[in-house]
C-alpha cells in the first residue's frame, strides 16, 4: 500500500493537462517504476499523483511526415526494442533500453519516464543525446519541441512546464539516416543494474567507408546529466577509419567528460572505462556500418 495522498487518473492528454493545472503539486506517474519506489522510500510519500499510464495514445513508434522517428512517450522499453522501425533506423536505441533492469522493468518502464526523471544513468539517455533527439511537450498552449540537451536542466531536473506533459520523443531523419551505433553499458552485473557509466556512439562513414563523415558520442554518468563529448567527436570526424583514430577518439573523451567520485565508482575509474568504452563503441559502430579499421 502506497502513501498516496490523491490519485488522479488522466483519461486523455488534454485531461492530463487539466489535472496538471488543477493540481500543481501533483507528480506525474507513467510506469511508476521510479515514482512508486521513491514514494515507498518516503521521498515522495504523501504526495498527489497524476497517472497517465493508461493513455494508450502515447504508445507506439511511427515515422512522421518528414520521416522523423516519433516515439510515443509511454512506449515501454520492451516494445521499443521489438519495434520494426526502431530496429531498422536506430537499432542501438532498442539495444540500449534492452539493458535497462530486467524484463519486467522493461515492460513497465517507459522512454518518457526514463527521460523525465532527468537522471544521468538512464540507459536511453546517452543514445538519445547522441542522436540529438527532440522532446515533444504538450501543454495548454499547444506543443513545443526541445532539443534533448536543453531538456535536461540539471541532475533530476528537466524542462517541463507546469501545464505540460511529455508526449513524444523525436529522432530527426538527418540524425539517424545512414548511421550505425553501439551502446556499451558498464555495470557491475549483467542484469538488474544501473549503469556505472554508459556510452553511446554512432557513426556515418563515407561511401567508400574509409572516412568518418560524422561521429557522435554521448555518455551517461559522466556528469550530472547525460552529455555529448564534442572534443572526441571532433577528433574522429573527417578522419580516416583507423585504429589510430579510434585511439585518439577514446583519449579525447577525457577532456570532455566530468564524472565525479561517489561510492558507486571513483572519478578515475569512470574516466578510465569511459575512454576504453568510447574506443570500443566506435570500433563496433564501424563494423556495423560494414567498415573496417585499418
* Contacting residues toward other proteins, per CB under 8 A: 1-7, 9, 32-33, 36-37, 40, 42, 45-46, 51, 53-54, 78, 101-105, 107-108, 186, 188-194, 196, 251, 254, 263-266, 268-269, 271-273, 275-277
Closer residue to other proteins (CB): 32 or 112: 32
According to DSSP, the β-strands at 61-63 and 69-72 are antiparallel
Q: What is the rounded distance in angstroms from the CA atom of residue 57 to the CA atom of residue 67?
A: 20
CB of 109 to other proteins, least distance (A): 9
Nearer to other proteins, 104 or 210 (CB): 104
Find out whether 53 and 30 touch, Cβ atoms under 8 Å: yes
The distance of closest approach from Cβ of residue 66 to other proteins in the complex, given in angstroms and rounded to an integer, is 32
Strand partners, 28: 50
Reading the block at residue 19, the C-alpha cell is: 489535472
Among all chains, which residue has been given the C-alpha cell 570500433? 283
Q: How far is the CB of 86 from other proteins (least distance, A)?
A: 17
As a whole number of angstroms, the distance between CA 158 and CA 12 comes to 22
Q: Which is nearer to other proteins, 31 or 118 (CB)?
A: 31
Q: Which is nearer to other proteins, 103 or 162 (CB)?
A: 103
DSSP state of 2: -
- Judged by beta carbon, residue 102 or residue 240, the one nearer other proteins is 102
Strands 47-51, 27-29: parallel, antiparallel or unpaired by DSSP? parallel
CB of 205 to other proteins, least distance (A): 25
Nearest distance, CB of residue 287 and other proteins, angstroms: 17
Range 179-213 burial, b when 16+ CB lie within 10 A, else e = bbbbbbbbbeeeeebbbbbbbbbbbbbeeeeebbe
Amino acid at each position: 500500500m502506497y502513501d498516496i495522498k490523491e490519485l488522479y487518473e488522466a483519461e486523455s492528454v488534454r485531461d492530463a493537462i487539466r489535472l496538471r493545472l488543477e493540481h500543481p503539486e501533483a507528480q506525474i506517474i507513467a510506469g511508476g517504476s521510479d515514482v512508486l519506489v521513491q514514494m515507498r522510500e518516503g521521498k515522495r510519500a504523501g504526495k498527489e499523483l497524476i497517472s497517465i499510464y493508461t493513455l494508450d495514445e502515447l504508445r507506439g513508434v511511427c515515422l512522421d511526415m518528414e520521416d522523423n522517428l516519433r516515439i510515443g512517450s509511454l512506449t515501454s522499453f520492451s516494445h521499443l526494442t521489438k519495434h520494426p522501425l526502431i530496429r531498422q533506423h536506430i537499432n542501438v536505441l532498442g539495444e540500449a533500453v534492452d539493458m535497462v533492469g530486467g524484463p519486467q522493468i522493461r515492460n513497465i518502464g517507459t522512454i518518457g519516464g526514463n527521460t523525465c526523471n532527468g537522471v544521468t544513468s538512464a540507459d536511453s539517455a546517452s543514445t538519445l543525446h547522441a542522436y540529438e533527439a527532440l522532446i515533444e511537450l504538450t501543454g495548454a498552449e499547444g506543443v513545443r519541441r526541445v532539443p534533448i540537451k536543453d531538456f535536461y536542466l540539471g541532475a533530476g531536473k528537466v524542462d517541463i512546464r507546469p501545464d505540460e506533459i511529455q508526449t513524444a520523443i523525436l529522432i530527426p531523419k538527418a540524425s539517424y539516416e545512414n548511421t550505425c551505433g553501439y551502446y556499451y553499458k558498464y555495470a557491475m552485473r549483467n542484469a538488474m543494474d544501473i549503469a556505472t557509466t554508459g556510452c553511446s556512439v554512432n557513426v556515418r562513414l563515407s561511401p567508400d567507408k574509409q572516412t568518418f563523415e560524422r561521429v557522435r558520442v554521448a555518455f551517461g554518468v559522466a556528469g550530472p546529466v547525460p552529455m555529448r563529448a564534442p572534443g572526441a567527436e571532433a577528433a574522429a570526424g573527417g578522419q580516416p577509419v583507423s585504429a589510430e583514430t579510434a585511439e585518439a577518439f577514446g583519449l579525447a573523451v577525457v577532456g570532455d567528460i566530468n564524472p565525479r567520485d561517489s561510492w558507486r565508482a571513483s572519478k578515475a575509474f569512470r574516466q578510465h572505462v569511459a575512454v576504453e568504452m568510447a574506443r570500443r563503441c566506435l570500433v563496433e559502430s564501424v563494423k556495423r556500418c560494414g567498415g573496417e579499421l585499418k
